[in-house]
Structure 1
């Protein structure tokens, strides 16, 4: 009898041991998968603050589904501190982060650092760009066509100055909630416009660009001018003023415009959000800001502001009629999908080679589609984790 009891106890003990081992294995299988992302924007204000916030929001979402994602954000002191951004990327390489995401201050300045990341076996995501960087093996591009961004802004201005659209006194085009007022929308609206109808688009404006001669600034400027040339009675007064993507410098540019052009301006187009907010501030201080809820009359001294980018701050200004229209470049999307693609790459899964965020017009009627709660799709983190091949 004692033998039977002893054998039974041994069998029970072995069973418990086996079950215990299985339980340990299950716990180990459920341990979170660690992913470290090095994110190097050109600064940490305005649009890049928004992008950074959504890199982190997406990471928090992933961390509720079996991941332990850390986003390390480091930015240079200004858009012009090119060497600092290179040093940041080099530091990420030394840290052996899993993925590097970067929005280059200028493309050429980061070439060697991104090449070094590739040589170290670290996948790179380039944000704020769709055009492939020749000679580099970039895992994924998230961005938009900067030339198209400038073109969309120009069509918004043309609409405001008398062309068809949603902003001015020209022929009204119906736009339903959720519609994309992108380049295709505007080109279709203006495709059959007669010379007489184009001549009705009238006004004078000034331009605030970013870094003079830089890739992003030049592309947006070229796109804006390409569209404006279709309207013979729209005049760009004087030279563009380069404000280096900086709000305070844009204030000074606008003050210079006010001194040099008197009552002549109908609009200012600033090639970025920060500069547009600077223009708005200067015009407000001078009691020259044209509000969207007030009728525009040529020669009344009021100046409308148009700009590019879209952040929570500028959406508030659009919703409150301070900025007439702005072209969104999808900064929330940059961060939301940036983390997703980084995790996929770290997991040795495929990520899109190019992810196009089509520039489109934001104005008072659709502003709240973008902030404070931008419309972003859910990410299936469980599926990404199930297919993840990352070790450690």
Structure 2
């Protein structure tokens, strides 16, 4: 009987040890799940959180870029905090400081201006957080890397389409992006590189519509009132503004005025397909977004990366538009 009691006691102790071991395993498992939910795991035991400060999310291209970044971050198991600057420099600076205070592992910025954020970015990098640029370039000397497409080439490409369409003679109006952003600066340079070679083309007017469809439509309506039938063609530095101009022209029955834009957003692709726009210059938001997330993770881990990664623009006309609509 004494032997039986001893055996029972041993069995009870063994069972208790099994229960305690199971509880410990469960607690460890919950800890791992928490890391994944809050920001993923880098594979070396350290969860990674990235910040993305985007100049504004009203346009389709910026939305496409952000969606691509979110999808890639989820795929790679990292957390991405997105902050919409609403097209305001002071808001962008405040949001960058906010991300810094959250001690994110790396910050990606899509700046509204190529110089206005420089001091802030340099200071954040000095504080130990790498900052990467995407889509719009920032001239901050301590920017770790930049992922984008060559805006001068985009300007040259769209301007050449207009030159060819109007036979090198006529009057154009130009809708610009936010003054000082690299898209505006580079595309303007490219447009004038082509126009300087075609002295029989006159620029009747040019003005920023801040990448906005609504602003572009209003500006175009005013230009139609001022210049009327003297307007031979429209060069818009992005598709949102091109569509805005197109809407104003259609309202006035000026359907024969050729319009061109940049980005390859869905409405522009449809307009090219329907013959309402002569072309757009496709900018690959998916490739830009995916690449910058990959690089931000590398930067967060302290790995060496190149200073610049360039993704080419692609001309879209009626001849190849179906390929892009199918994407």
Assess same fold via TM > 0.5: yes
1:23, CA displacement in angstroms? 10
1:106 aligns with 2:113: yes
Q: Please, which runs of 5 or more residues in structure 1 have no aligned partner?
A: 162-199, 290-301, 375-392
- TM-score of the superposition, structure 1-length normalised? 0.69
Q: 1:120/1:313 Cα in 2 relative to 1: closer, same or farther (>3 Å)?
A: farther
User: Relative to 1, partners in 2 of residues 1:212 and 1:111: Cα closer, same or farther, differing over 3 Å?
Assistant: closer
Match for residue 277 of structure 1?
243
2:291 match: 337
TM-score normalised per structure 2: 0.81
- Decide whether aligned partners of structure 1 residues 356 and 89 sit closer, same or farther in structure 2, where only a CA change above 3 A counts: same
The structural deviation recorded for 1:267 is 1.4
The equivalent position to 2:79 in structure 1, one of 45, 52, 69, is: 69
Structure 1 position 82, deviation (Å): 1.2
Matches within 5 A, 1:1-392: 32=36, 33=40, 34-46=47-59, 47-62=61-76, 67-76=77-86, 78=87, 81-129=88-136, 133=139, 135-136=141-142, 138-161=143-166, 201-212=168-179, 215-232=182-199, 234-289=200-255, 302-371=256-325, 374=327
Q: Distance in 1 between matches of 2:180 and 2:114?
A: 12
* Cα pair distance change 1:304/1:338, threshold 3 Å: same
- Work out the number of aligned pairs and report it: 313
Of residues 266-275 and 84-93 in structure 1, the stretch that sits farther from structure 2 once superposed is: 266-275
Higher relative contact order (CA 8 A, sep 6+): 1
Aligned residue for 1:133, secondary structure, equals coil
Q: Identify if the C-alpha distance between structure 1 residues 238 and 158 changes in structure 2 by more than 3 Å, giving closer, same or farther.
A: closer
Matched position secondary structure for 1:231: coil
Shift of 1:134: 5.0
Q: Which secondary structure does the structure 2 equivalent of 1:108 belong to?
A: coil
CA RMSD of aligned residues (A): 3.1
Shift of 1:151: 0.9
Deviation string for 1:220-274 (max 9, x for gaps)?
A: 1121111122234x41342312223222221122112222333233310011222
SS at match of 1:142: strand
Change over 3 Å in CA distance of 1:28–1:307 after alignment to 2: same
Q: Give, in angstroms, the shift of residue 49 of structure 1.
A: 1.2
- Three-state SS of the structure 1 residue aligned to 2:55 is coil
CA change 1:285–1:109 in 2 (3 A) is same
Return closer, same or farther for 1:72/1:201 CA change in 2, 3 Å cut-off.
Answer: closer
Over 3 Å counting, the alpha-carbon distance change for 1:217 and 1:267 in structure 2 is same
State the 1:39 CA deviation.
Answer: 1.0
1:106: Cα distance to partner? 0.6
1:121: Cα distance to partner?
1.0
Deviation, structure 1 residue 26: 9.0
Instruction: Provide structure 2 residue ranges, at least 5 long, that are not aligned to the other structure.
Output: 41-46
What's the CA shift string for 1:263-321, capped at 9, x where partnerless? 233310011222112101111211212xxxxxxxxxxxx21110112223322332333
Q: Which residue does the alignment assign to 2:43?
A: none
More helix, by proportion:
2
| Counterparts in 2 of 1:36 and 1:29: CA distance versus 1, 3 Å | closer
Relative to structure 1, the CA distance from residue 129 to residue 339 in structure 2 (aligned partners, 3 Å threshold; closer, same or farther) is same
